[in-house]
Structure 1
């Protein structure tokens, strides 16, 4: 794993959904909501540094999306009805037991909680350092109610006390950063501010026959530091 962060050698690749089923059109967020972000010069500078092999494994922060990534909501009129992606619970269970995990969805908080209640046990949820919904995107009151594009600014997550204090070396000044964080999401656009931290997955549209093994293995091996990556 890189000591400085994920860079162009891990640049995002397209993650299409089902053929012929376009993602819902969303409007741009207003200036009051922060507008459309770009990677900061500091982020790009760190991302351009060559990767270094760490002398020992270390914990990483895994930020996981819900709708389109782990499940599919077929109807907005029935937000408590979900179709789970094959192996979604197994994937979540592994992540919770192995990494530091945060859930971040653009759905409303009540619906986020319902999705998490379906996918995880109460004990697993206790191990998740943050379960965030639409209220954590800094949207204006008007944008919150509209179908605007949301952006997962990881810097906002890193600075949140409940996340910052979960760093294993927090007492000695350790903080989460682009060097030890990955975002698992079906949307390239949502990762616009930190694009090289994204692990893109195909959008899940409720296909029960999907094999479920959708994470590119070579990229997974590289990030997790497995031999032969």
Structure 2
């Protein structure tokens, strides 16, 4: 079968991502301050003051290309949402944070194979709280951490429940500007030297946004992996396997020449089955982490004992 064949497998389902619609969703993408309009009346989420821009004209033609599988894994930029995706924050106590099951195995994989950043619509202090509940020393390895401050919201919208769209072009432009600044100065940090094998630029062919809301990725719809919302019920059950499914999906994406083309034909499917080896790998990673933590505690105890002599 040719590399660009589009035969459905167990991990994907042939469908075009569609924006969730309700009977109360207005057809216009603008609102005026004199006549506020809900973007989603059920969640009482308003339209932002700034009109939602159209999809960039060049985006769709690139996404419509045939998917092509490559032999060497590519470095992807993975953009992570936090609340509802990797964590559940209790509504009555925002500091009560529950990590999603299999978070460590998932993070181990993406930090080994991808360039990773966080972009959350939460305010900075809330982002810090969630990161401290599951990322550990991986926080230092994040390429960048973006919060509500990075949505370019007006002061009015920043303090109001408005739709926040994660425009990936903001990220691509920021990385491009940083590379240009480094080239102009002629200086490169150790991290930049270590990333020489990474792409010259990140764009729709090598970027994946992982979020529980399709609305937030509507400007680059074929770059979004939409997970089931990690809500209170799933947090209490403790049996959720969504991150293992995303890990398996990313194992396919790193071998794609154009992820937006592949994701258009094979969107992420939360109903895909898992195999026993997926759980074996997750258990092995968890055992490794526990052993590493035990070694660190033993080393700390030894150093404390020596310092007290």
Task: Note whether the superposition's TM-score is higher than 0.5.
Answer: yes
Give 1:44-55 correspondences, 5 Å limit: 44-55=60-71
Per-residue CA deviations over 1:68-99 (Å, capped at 9, x if unaligned) read: 10111122x63222122111233223222221
Alpha-carbon RMSD: 3.2
Q: Is contact 2:75–2:206 with CA below 8 Å preserved after alignment?
A: yes
Q: Distance in 1 between matches of 2:85 and 2:61?
A: 29
Per-residue CA deviations over 1:120-168 (Å, capped at 9, x if unaligned) read: 113x111110111100001000000000010000010112249965694
Structure 2 equivalent of residue 12 of structure 1: 17
Q: Distance in 1 between matches of 2:122 and 2:130?
A: 10
Give 1:201-212 correspondences, 5 Å limit: 201-206=227-232, 207=234, 208-212=236-240
Displacement of 1:102 after TM fit?
Answer: 0.7
Per-residue CA deviations over 1:161-182 (Å, capped at 9, x if unaligned) read: 49965694589x8100000010
Q: Is contact 1:68–1:205 with CA below 8 Å preserved after alignment?
A: yes
Q: Is contact 1:65–1:104 with CA below 8 Å preserved after alignment?
A: yes
TM-score between the two structures when normalised by the length of structure 2: 0.60
Structure 2 equivalent of residue 120 of structure 1: 135
Do the aligned partners of residues 136 and 45 (structure 1) sit closer, same or farther apart at CA in structure 2, a change above 3 Å counting?
same
Question: Of residues 153, 163, 167 in structure 2, which corresponds to 1:149?
Answer: 163
Q: Is contact 1:100–1:129 with CA below 8 Å preserved after alignment?
A: yes
Structure 1 equivalent of residue 100 of structure 2: 85
Q: Is contact 1:109–1:134 with CA below 8 Å preserved after alignment?
A: yes
Q: Distance in 2 between matches of 1:10 and 1:169?
A: 37
Aligned partner of residue 107 in structure 2, secondary structure: helix
Displacement of 1:217 after TM fit?
Answer: 7.7
Displacement of 1:45 after TM fit?
Answer: 1.3
TM-score between the two structures when normalised by the length of structure 1: 0.79
Aligned partner of residue 212 in structure 1, secondary structure: coil
Q: Is contact 1:184–1:201 with CA below 8 Å preserved after alignment?
A: yes
Do the aligned partners of residues 216 and 94 (structure 1) sit closer, same or farther apart at CA in structure 2, a change above 3 Å counting?
closer
Question: Of residues 209, 213, 216 in structure 2, which corresponds to 1:190?
Answer: 216
Q: Is contact 2:74–2:255 with CA below 8 Å preserved after alignment?
A: no
Flag structure 1 segments of 5+ consecutive residues without an equivalent. Answer: 3-7, 16-21
The reply on whether 1:97 has 2:112 as its aligned counterpart is yes
Question: Of residues 140, 165, 169 in structure 1, which corresponds to 2:154?
Answer: 140
The reply on whether 1:57 has 2:73 as its aligned counterpart is yes
